[in-house]
Amino acid sequence: MSTAVLSLSENFDARTCASEINLVVIHAISLPPNRFGGPGVTQLFTNTLDPQAHPYYAGIHHLRVSAHFFIRRTGELIQFVDPELRAWHAGVSCWHGRERCNDFSIGVELEGSDTLPFEAVQYEVLANLLTELCERFPIEGITGHSDIAPGRKTDPGPYFAWGRLRRCLDAKGHARTATLIEPEGAAEAVEEALMVWSFPVSERPD
């Protein structure tokens, strides 16, 4: 199993049927929005976000949400909820006609936004994690939050390169996992351009 730092969230409950974990949902999040490297996401998922710390936090600190995994810009992998249990990441959602995707999915958050490229190491860590999850659970699909909650959610956003994730899995010899990815993504040349990120990991241009 990938080495994950545990940061346990209280925001979970039992699945109604543990044998039906069929989907992995990819998300992107950053707190404050478009800022990387801080403690905001971990605090949100552990109900310790300070509403005074940033104006944006006042509107979200009360939310009881979580994901199973979080992959930082540095590639650090943090686990908040055991994948056998139900995390609260998808909200109102529908996948292939099945509603309430939290019931049967595993949620993976990437530290990122709708406006900036992801880091190469995040694709690497995600590919390893997906392969392990697909070996452990009867996963039938890998998709994005925006694909199961269209019009309501935009993450992981236009900068998430699905083709790059596919190629990353293929290169590791995990072609079967790659075939489970559902979104098409941008053309390869566009995706390569989206990977160019010339700023230090914790910074962004204003």
Active-site residues, by number, are: 109
- Which of 107/117 has CB closer to Zn ion? 107
Q: Which is nearer to Zn ion, 72 or 174 (CB)?
A: 72
Q: Which of 105, 115, 28 is nearest to 73 (CA)?
A: 28
Contacts of 139 (CB under 8 A, 6+ apart): 21, 22, 23, 24, 106, 133, 180
Least distance from Zn ion to the Cβ atom of residue 45, Å = 12
* Residue 106 or 174 having the CB closest to Zn ion: 106
Q: How far is the CB of 89 from Zn ion (least distance, A)?
A: 6
Residues 6 or more apart whose CB falls under 8 angstroms from that of 153 comprise 91, 145, 146
CA distances to 44, 103, 136, 140 from 21, in Å = 25, 8, 10, 9
What is the smallest separation between the CB atom of 205 and Zn ion, expressed in angstroms? 24
Q: Which is nearer to Zn ion, 146 or 174 (CB)?
A: 146
Binding residues (CB under 5 A) for Zn ion: these are: 27, 145, 155
199: left (phi over 0), alpha (psi -120 to 50) or beta: beta
Please report how close the Cβ of residue 174 comes to Zn ion at its closest, in angstroms: 24
